[in-house]
């Protein structure tokens, strides 16, 4: 992986495997990782990030279950082509509720750290606009 760089905050309440999953998924969605691109081996990435290899293996398994990567023993882990499909209404509503709950939790965490609400709202708008691309 020569493009984007993963960064793990070992002091974060978010588990390291989840940080890996979230960042790699974002890299795929934003096009920083392209279909067919090989990812580092589990052991190589674990060493680079300073985490146990099982942490990386768990992240890779989660991404494989989501259809973002292909993991095969003895072969490089590669990014897959994955077209976004519109979820059915019931699933969409479930996703929206989950998103709102997670967003509210994150905003509360940022407010508790002293970030003012207008600053948070401005950053959310900026990131949303950047992702629309």
Q: What angle do CA 104, 26, 19 make, to 5 degrees?
A: 65
DSSP helix, strand, coil percent of the chain (3-state; round to 5): 55, 5, 40
Question: What pLDDT, in 10s, does the model give residues 78-122?
Answer: 999 987 667 788 888 988 999 999 999 999 999 999 999 999 999
Domain boundaries along the sequence of the chain = 16-79, 89-132
Q: Do residues 56 and 32 make contact, with C-beta atoms less than 8 angstroms apart?
A: no
**pLDDT grade for 1, boundaries at 50, 70 and 90:** low
Kindly report the pTM of this predicted structure.
0.71
In this predicted structure, the answer to whether residue 37 has a pLDDT above a threshold of 80 is: yes
* pLDDT at site 86: 72
Percent of the chain with pLDDT over 70: 95
Cα(121)–Cα(107) distance, rounded to whole angstroms?
9
CATH number of 16-79: 1.10.10.10
**Which residue pairs, CB below 8 angstroms and at least 24 apart, start in 43-46?**
45/6, 45/20
Cα(53)–Cα(34) distance, rounded to whole angstroms?
24
């Amino acid at each position: 992986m020569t493009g984007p760089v993963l960064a793990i905050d070992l002091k974060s309440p978010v588990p390291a495997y989840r940080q890996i999953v979230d960042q790699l998924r974002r890299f795929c969605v934003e096009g920083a990782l392209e279909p067919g691109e090989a990812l580092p081996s589990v052991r190589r990435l674990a060493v680079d990030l300073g985490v146990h290899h099982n942490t990386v293996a768990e992240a890779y398994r989660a991404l494989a279950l989501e259809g973002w990567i292909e993991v095969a023993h003895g072969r490089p882990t590669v990014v897959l082509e994955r077209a976004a499909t519109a979820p059915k209404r019931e699933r969409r509503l479930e996703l929206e509720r989950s998103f709102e709950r997670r967003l509210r939790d994150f905003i509360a965490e940022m407010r508790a750290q002293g970030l003012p609400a207008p600053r948070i709202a401005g950053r959310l708008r900026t990131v949303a606009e950047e992702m629309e691309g």
